[in-house]
Chains A and B, each alone.
Chain A
Amino acid sequence: MPSTSLTLDGNEAAARVAYRASEVIALYPITPASPMGEHCDAWAGAGEVNLWGAVPEVIEMQSEGGAAGAVHGALQAGALATTFTASQGLLLMIPNLFKIAGELTPAVVHVAARTLATHALSIFGDHSDVMAARSCGWAMLCASSVQEAQDMALVAHAATLESRVPFLHFFDGFRTSHEVARMVPLADDDLRALLSEEAMRAHRARALTPERPVLRGTAQNPDVFFQAREAANPFHDAVPGIVKDVLARFAARTGRRYAPFEYEGAPDAERVLVLMGSGAGAAGEAVAELVRRGEKVGLLTVRLFRPFSAADFVAVLPERVRALAVLDRTKEPGAAGEPLYQDVLTALHEAWGAVHAGAPRPDVIGGRYGLSSKEFTPAMAAAVLAELTRPAPKRHFTIGIHDDVTHLSLAWDEAFETEADDVVRAVFYGLGSDGTVGANKNSVKIVGEHTPLHAQGYFVYDSRKAGAVTVSHLRFSPRPIRSTYLVRRAGFVACHQFHFLERMDVLELAAPGATFLLNSPYGPAEVWAHLPREVQRSILEKELRLFVVDARRVAEAAGLGGRINTVMQACFFALSAILPRDEALARIKEFIEESYGKRGRAVLERNFAAVDGALAALHEVALPAAELGTLRRLPAVPEAAPDFVQRVTALMLAGHGDRLPVSALPVDGTFPTGTARWEKRGIALEIPLWDAALCIDCGLCALVCPHAAIRMKAYAPEALAGAPAEFPSKVWSGKELAGHRMTIQVAPDDCTGCGMCVDVCPARSKEVAKHKALDMHPRTAELARERARYEFFLDLPELERTQVELETPKTTQLLEPLFEYSGACAGCGETPYLKLLSQLYGDRLLIANATGCSSIYSGNLPTTPWTTNRDGRGPAWANSLFEDNAEFGLGLRLACDQRRDVARALLRTEAAGLGDELVRTLLETDQLPEANLARVRAAVEELRRRLAGRTDERARRLLELADALVERSVWIVGGDGWAYDIGFGGLDHVLASGRDVNVLVLDTGVYSNTGGQASKATPRAAVAKFAAGGKDVRKKDLGLLAAAYGNVYVAQIALGANPKQTIEAFREAESWRGPSLLIAYSHCIAHGIEMSSAMGHQKEAVNSGFWPLFRYDPRLGGPGLHPFQLDSRKPRTSFQEFAAKEARFAMLARANPQQAAHLMKLAQADIDERYRYYEQLAGVERVATDGSEESHP
């Protein structure tokens, strides 16, 4: 056991080198590279120094483009600079990458390689991003394991200094960036030994300085540009040699040998696989196994992809190789082949003869694999090598999918396995909230750092945030682990949540005779009867050993609530026998101390108690001979689900999306909406139940529900016919629907149990003050009854939109939400705004959604919460990118306007034939009032009827455009990271355009989706990632910036503080015929608040003046008029009082009381000053010079 080994993930491995070898680090968060930046920021915060004894300058920028710019500048001024990125982030850096390379500037960018968004975004790993940057002139060095992510990072930093050619160092996103593995760390002295002082001095000597002024970044003309471009050739030509030299020095110092191209396998191989990245692990295993079986095969792993050294490539190939299969982890539609394939062809063409004179040049086929982290296994590698034995192998193929459309895919033999029996393989199914992954990471460390075994952990996360399921794949082996794929056959399976059994096949990966550890509320004697038949069958057929532990009881007794991870971890070690039991328990405690030591004695003692209590509660179950009972695993979706959901969505939901063939999927990324309703997850422990007798019909519960899982309907009494027994109902109290009855009903399988509805409910019992019109009750006890009620409730008729005025929470909540059951966090602060938007304008809504939380809960497969009404109308939603959302939304508006204008022109020319009355209705009706919109819709139908028989071109054109005559409501939605930072330039331009678009900024004050990094919306005194010492500058006042235009409608809103003002702002924004901007206070789990009371926090945010409410309405301008309305009263409480309840502020007082006191004082001053300023603005006269006459306030 090397005492010097560390167990960490690829991101940390790379960042440890980058940090020490850099002076300036410019950052921008993007998955899966964010942790590299976060580590650097944390180290800098802790005062850790680089190799030269200084704390590097670490700065977060507004985009990757900004980060690249800052790096470029820092390099020009003589610093060693780096950044970290992936995917679109790398694309945004490309202009600077060309510049940096063109100026022969040593630099390293570390990339956790990730899929580029095409038909869909994907956060997962492939090489499409780095391949898109391959023409920039940067050297490209690829690491294929956690160890290499560290080692190649150093090689890149060393080689760039010596060569002056900048380096992209990349490794596979997630598979390497997030894999936890044992590796040997590099010491500071190793880094110093490799980094040439002389080259560093030369770099500094080239810095821009007024002492020796030079000019860079000239504009050149046709006379010299070309020659100058060629002048750098010798530097690029020298790179392979320099890299080889650095690698040789590295090997001499560390004993780890690498080469630009590495060959392994049979020395006389006839067939060779070529690839780069983590796939080399799986392929290497396949080759070793095939060689053992006597096959003449080999693997060539590419490390230095650019500059591609043909001579070096050819030199490592065995003389007798007959055929190569080149695997690319990217796709370039329309190319003659993917990039690595093409380079290999060229290299063979140019260099084979010179090295292997006389030997026939091998044939080459090329395939794609592993897009978006698609599994790549030894079986797949073997299938590719097998393809080379066929008389006419597919020249272009895919591996890892079933392509039944273009038939490019190769079949593979699932039974081909390479893992030895002495490798411990374990799979754990847990919830994010029960701490399973954290404990498993510690288990990997315990084994990796305290036994001679090698250890590997890889973790599969959920795309939903509420009730997220995690699957941990662990391996422990006496030999280094190269299995860069999920565990396929596990000797140990743990299910950390009993209810998973009815929803997923947790025994799918269990090997025959495996141990199955189940967290069960039922003891060894009674558990069998509570297992679904499918589980019983697997246990019996595979002859598993079943162990149960009531982990929840042990954890609760230890004072840990539902945090069962240490209990399950102790049981795992007890059963797996990797370590002697006592030692294992002692190590677990050591790691608990290491992980949680700083959090205090209480935390440690409770976790220790859980470990101590675990084994006494662990029991083996004596298995009966036969299956028993009637419990069955639930189908993934109900039978009533539509065809696409049954065929496609259901497989994804069941975790079997890999089985879907190419033909099952849409060709262009277009998916049906209305699918979240089929996904009944049942994750709430408690659900709200309604007491009709207390309810005052205010609608607040439905308004704040982030998941549209509690709803309100008003209906005619007759509609109750056929209601389930005791279906609750009361008389509707409003004047507008006299004679109606109403019901508030929870969706028991869709509710997340966040409790916000109960918290905001104002209706208390006079007799028992704690009893409200809504109280939380255990879900299971009420499930059957509430399911039946909800089913009936959904069938109650929807109101006509014209029946109510949409001015109050009460009336808006009578409308059907067209955004429902999202996978957002329980208690999300963003989704209530989107749901409200869908209720107000869902049937005419086009949404441009910036990448972020809202695009993920809206559009991450398998399902979407956006849905349709009974007429089939509903929001049409699209996500383009992160940075371009405002422009994208403007494009939607321009197209709508263009289509509408053409339709109107056609109507005018065709008026005579169509009837004046109809044409007048279509051209002149103000569509804002609901009744008018309904009239226009009817008129469009009539128009269709009248045009139906006509065959002339104009009529056909008009028929095609008829829908465009109904006004579209275009909303541009995104978070503060988009609006304040990366998308601000575009947002500004769109607001300046004067066009009728509505922008909704869901402002959480941090980059929520990537884990809470600071944005320019982060308030002063809050801590966030990249602002761990507390944000020391004020939040940008986006609202006032927009209001400065004069013709932009702007509102700052907070649903929990003033729902009426929120609704008014939505209505005013929609009705203003110019650009509108709503800035919506959105609480977030990153704020560190009790989520059930989050709406109360919104109130306090407003009462303290932290979040003033205002509206700037250009229509209210004019001589003597004041369009800026301050909707908040003077602050009534101090910022301190508000801040004390939110960990984002309170944490700083714990960590650094002096800094906290200083920032709190400034934050209070900000609030006071801003309120005074706003008060004055409210008295300022202003005229919107181009206010639209069509607008209706």
Chain B
Amino acid sequence: MSVDLSTRYLGFPLRGPLVASASPMTGTLEGLARLQEAGAAMAVMPSLFEEQIVHEELSLHALHEYGSESFAEALGYQPALDFPHSTEGYLETLRRARRELTLPVSASLNGCTAGGWAHLAHEIEQAGASALELNVYVVATDLDTSSAELERRALDLVAIVRAAVALPLAVKIGPGFSAPAHFCRRLVEAGADGLVLFNRYLRPDVDLERLELVPSLVLSDSYAARIPLQWIGILRGKLSCSLAASSGVHTAEDALKLLLVGADVVMATSALLKHGPAKLRELEQGLRAWMEAHGYTSVEQLKGSLSQANCPDPSAYERANYMRALISYTGKFI
């Protein structure tokens, strides 16, 4: 019995639900080609960080101005080099990937100013991206900024990008919002075609020798999938948008669970970084085997079959602690 793995995401069909999420691998043409060969249904390129681009432009500018026009013998200290714009490499990779590969490729963007988001989104659309993923990344350290204010800013940015481009638009958020369901609804209202749940933030570490904080990247494990599992299950069927599960997809079982609770696609990063693109093939085989063994004929069939709306015990999604299951001693109707 053959199973149909195809799914729809952000309004377009994909050959399967396994998507390669943003990582160094998706940032090069070679990496994307290898992912396509391994069966990825789609790939999301690493985020263009507006802050990083701005920093790079300003530091390059500062470098050329530093010490210049100060001293009669040296009106400058750097050779005249012709630099492409700082986004040019990224856009060129995107352009070539779209030209040379069949794999749909989504760009990803992290902006910090309204103008910056719209401008970069436009450039990405021009370069032929299949979709755009907005990476809403906030570390809310300011004591004076409320969650409402932060949410408003994010919604404004989504609306601005929505107005600027016609591309299918996904919004990737972190799990830290106090009212995720409400906020997700607002994002869809602001124009998101899909939600990517969730971003995993870099958490700093302490270097005990140097007594300094150091950025440290720790790859996820399967347990990390529990957060998207919970929220995708809760949101499935309640929002008219695509849902992508991101974080903790290491095995076919992880992927299946996420599909069952309602993900349209599952995104893998850590597993691919650890094992290489070939891991995708293994995941797909696992997916097929389980579906065949359990009598499923298509991904569409199983998608959301265990969502909060569809599962036998909806309250399981809402338990937050080691509370015993609430047992009723009467029926609902006399």
Chain A interfacial positions (CB closer than 8 Å to B): 31-32, 34-35, 38, 41-42, 45-46, 123, 174, 178, 431-433, 435-438, 441, 459, 461-463, 465, 468, 470, 559, 563, 596, 598-603, 605-606, 764, 769, 825, 856, 1008-1012, 1023-1028, 1085-1086, 1088, 1143, 1147-1148, 1150-1151, 1153
In the complex, B65 has a CB within 8 A of chain A: yes
Alpha-carbon gap, A1023 to B77, bound state (A): 11
The answer to whether A1151 and B82 have CB atoms under 8 Å apart is yes
The answer to whether A1085 and B77 have CB atoms under 8 Å apart is yes
Within 8 A of A (CB), among B48-79: 53-54, 56-58, 60-61, 63-79
Contact of A1010 among B60, B73, B82 (CB under 8 A): B73
A1027 contacts across to B, CB distance below 8 A:
79
Alpha-carbon gap, A137 to B81, bound state (A): 40
B74 contacts across to A, CB distance below 8 A:
1008-1012
In the complex, B11 has a CB within 8 A of chain A: no
The answer to whether A1011 and B76 have CB atoms under 8 Å apart is yes
The answer to whether A438 and B69 have CB atoms under 8 Å apart is yes
Contact of B70 among A462, A1009, A1086 (CB under 8 A): A462
The answer to whether B75 and A468 have CB atoms under 8 Å apart is no
Within 8 A of A (CB), among B214-239: none
Alpha-carbon gap, A35 to B72, bound state (A): 11
In the complex, B89 has a CB within 8 A of chain A: yes
A1143 nearest in chain B by CB position: B63
The answer to whether A1086 and B119 have CB atoms under 8 Å apart is no
The answer to whether B67 and A1085 have CB atoms under 8 Å apart is yes
Alpha-carbon gap, A1009 to B74, bound state (A): 7
B211 contacts across to A, CB distance below 8 A:
764, 769
The answer to whether B65 and A435 have CB atoms under 8 Å apart is yes
The answer to whether B75 and A465 have CB atoms under 8 Å apart is no
The answer to whether A601 and B57 have CB atoms under 8 Å apart is yes
In the complex, B274 has a CB within 8 A of chain A: no
The answer to whether A599 and B73 have CB atoms under 8 Å apart is no
B115 nearest in chain A by CB position: A605
Q: What is the minimal beta-carbon distance from B211 to any residue of chain A, in angstroms?
A: 5
In the complex, B86 has a CB within 8 A of chain A: yes
The answer to whether B77 and A35 have CB atoms under 8 Å apart is no
The answer to whether B81 and A1151 have CB atoms under 8 Å apart is yes
Within 8 A of A (CB), among B76-104: 76-86, 89
Q: What is the minimal beta-carbon distance from A1008 to any residue of chain B, in angstroms?
A: 8
A1089 nearest in chain B by CB position: B63
B80 nearest in chain A by CB position: A42
B60 contacts across to A, CB distance below 8 A:
599-600, 1143, 1147, 1150
Q: What is the minimal beta-carbon distance from A160 to any residue of chain B, in angstroms?
A: 29
B212 contacts across to A, CB distance below 8 A:
769
- The number of chain B residues touching the other chain, given as a range, is 35 or more
The answer to whether B65 and A1143 have CB atoms under 8 Å apart is no
Q: Provided the pairs A603-B61, A1012-B79, A1143-B78 are in contact, do residues A438 and B73 lie with their beta carbons within 8 angstroms?
A: no
Known: A603-B58, A1086-B77, A1150-B86. 17 other contacts (CB 8 A): A42-B80, A432-B70, A438-B65, A461-B69, A461-B72, A462-B70, A600-B54, A601-B119, A603-B57, A603-B61, A1010-B73, A1023-B81, A1085-B67, A1143-B63, A1150-B84, A1151-B81, A1153-B89
Alpha-carbon gap, A174 to B68, bound state (A): 16
Alpha-carbon gap, A123 to B119, bound state (A): 48
Contact of A825 among B65, B67, B78 (CB under 8 A): B67
Alpha-carbon gap, A1025 to B68, bound state (A): 14
The answer to whether A602 and B57 have CB atoms under 8 Å apart is yes
Q: Provided the pairs A465-B67, A600-B86 are in contact, do residues A1011 and B57 lie with their beta carbons within 8 angstroms?
A: no
Can you spell out 27 A-B residue pairs with CB atoms less than 8 angstroms apart?
Answer: A31-B72, A42-B80, A45-B79, A46-B82, A123-B72, A123-B73, A431-B70, A432-B67, A432-B70, A435-B69, A436-B69, A461-B71, A461-B72, A465-B67, A465-B70, A470-B69, A598-B85, A599-B64, A599-B83, A602-B57, A1009-B73, A1010-B73, A1011-B77, A1026-B79, A1086-B77, A1147-B63, A1151-B81
Alpha-carbon gap, A599 to B58, bound state (A): 8
Alpha-carbon gap, A1095 to B168, bound state (A): 49
Q: Provided the pairs A459-B69, A1024-B79 are in contact, do residues A600 and B57 lie with their beta carbons within 8 angstroms?
A: yes
Alpha-carbon gap, A1025 to B72, bound state (A): 17
Alpha-carbon gap, A38 to B73, bound state (A): 13
| Max chain A C-beta neighbours (<10 A), residue from B60, B68, B81, B82 | B81
B67 nearest in chain A by CB position: A1085
Alpha-carbon gap, A34 to B81, bound state (A): 17
A431 contacts across to B, CB distance below 8 A:
70
Alpha-carbon gap, A1012 to B73, bound state (A): 11
Number of A-B contacts (CB under 8 A): 142
Alpha-carbon gap, A931 to B303, bound state (A): 89
B80 contacts across to A, CB distance below 8 A:
38, 42, 45, 1028
Contact of A1011 among B61, B73, B82 (CB under 8 A): B73
The answer to whether B61 and A596 have CB atoms under 8 Å apart is yes
B69 nearest in chain A by CB position: A437
Alpha-carbon gap, A601 to B87, bound state (A): 11
B77 contacts across to A, CB distance below 8 A:
1008, 1011-1012, 1085-1086
Q: What is the minimal beta-carbon distance from A112 to any residue of chain B, in angstroms?
A: 12
| Max chain B C-beta neighbours (<10 A), residue from A41, A437, A1028, A1088 | A1088
The answer to whether B69 and A432 have CB atoms under 8 Å apart is yes
Alpha-carbon gap, A84 to B123, bound state (A): 45
A1008 contacts across to B, CB distance below 8 A:
74, 77
B120 nearest in chain A by CB position: A601
Alpha-carbon gap, A38 to B76, bound state (A): 11
B85 nearest in chain A by CB position: A600
Q: Provided the pairs A600-B57, A600-B86, A602-B57 are in contact, do residues A1147 and B72 lie with their beta carbons within 8 angstroms?
A: no
A605 nearest in chain B by CB position: B115
B72 contacts across to A, CB distance below 8 A:
31-32, 123, 174, 178, 461, 463
The answer to whether A461 and B61 have CB atoms under 8 Å apart is no
The answer to whether B69 and A599 have CB atoms under 8 Å apart is no
The answer to whether B78 and A599 have CB atoms under 8 Å apart is no
A461 nearest in chain B by CB position: B72
A123 contacts across to B, CB distance below 8 A:
72-73
The answer to whether B63 and A1011 have CB atoms under 8 Å apart is no
Alpha-carbon gap, A478 to B81, bound state (A): 37
A604 nearest in chain B by CB position: B57
A463 contacts across to B, CB distance below 8 A:
71-72
Alpha-carbon gap, A749 to B248, bound state (A): 58
The answer to whether A432 and B71 have CB atoms under 8 Å apart is yes
| Max chain B C-beta neighbours (<10 A), residue from A459, A599, A1026, A1147 | A599
Q: Which 10 pairs, one residue from A and one from B, show the smallest C-beta to C-beta distance? A: A432-B70, A600-B57, A1011-B74, A437-B69, A1028-B79, A461-B72, A468-B70, A602-B54, A31-B73, A42-B80
Alpha-carbon gap, A603 to B83, bound state (A): 14
Alpha-carbon gap, A1143 to B80, bound state (A): 13
The answer to whether B78 and A1086 have CB atoms under 8 Å apart is yes
A9 nearest in chain B by CB position: B75
A1026 contacts across to B, CB distance below 8 A:
79
A1023 contacts across to B, CB distance below 8 A:
78-79, 81
Alpha-carbon gap, A123 to B73, bound state (A): 8
Q: Provided the pairs A31-B73, A598-B83, A1023-B81 are in contact, do residues A1085 and B58 lie with their beta carbons within 8 angstroms?
A: no
Q: What is the minimal beta-carbon distance from B109 to any residue of chain A, in angstroms?
A: 15
Q: Provided the pairs A600-B85, A601-B57 are in contact, do residues A1025 and B69 lie with their beta carbons within 8 angstroms?
A: no
Q: What is the minimal beta-carbon distance from A8 to any residue of chain B, in angstroms?
A: 13
A1091 nearest in chain B by CB position: B66
The answer to whether B79 and A1025 have CB atoms under 8 Å apart is yes
A32 contacts across to B, CB distance below 8 A:
72-73
A1011 contacts across to B, CB distance below 8 A:
73-77
The answer to whether A602 and B67 have CB atoms under 8 Å apart is no
Q: What is the minimal beta-carbon distance from B60 to any residue of chain A, in angstroms?
A: 6
B69 contacts across to A, CB distance below 8 A:
432, 435-438, 441, 459, 461, 470
B54 nearest in chain A by CB position: A602
Alpha-carbon gap, A1159 to B66, bound state (A): 26
Q: What is the minimal beta-carbon distance from A166 to any residue of chain B, in angstroms?
A: 28
Contact of B83 among A45, A606, A856, A1150 (CB under 8 A): A1150
Interface string of B14-40 (1 = CB under 8 A from A): 000000000000000000000000000
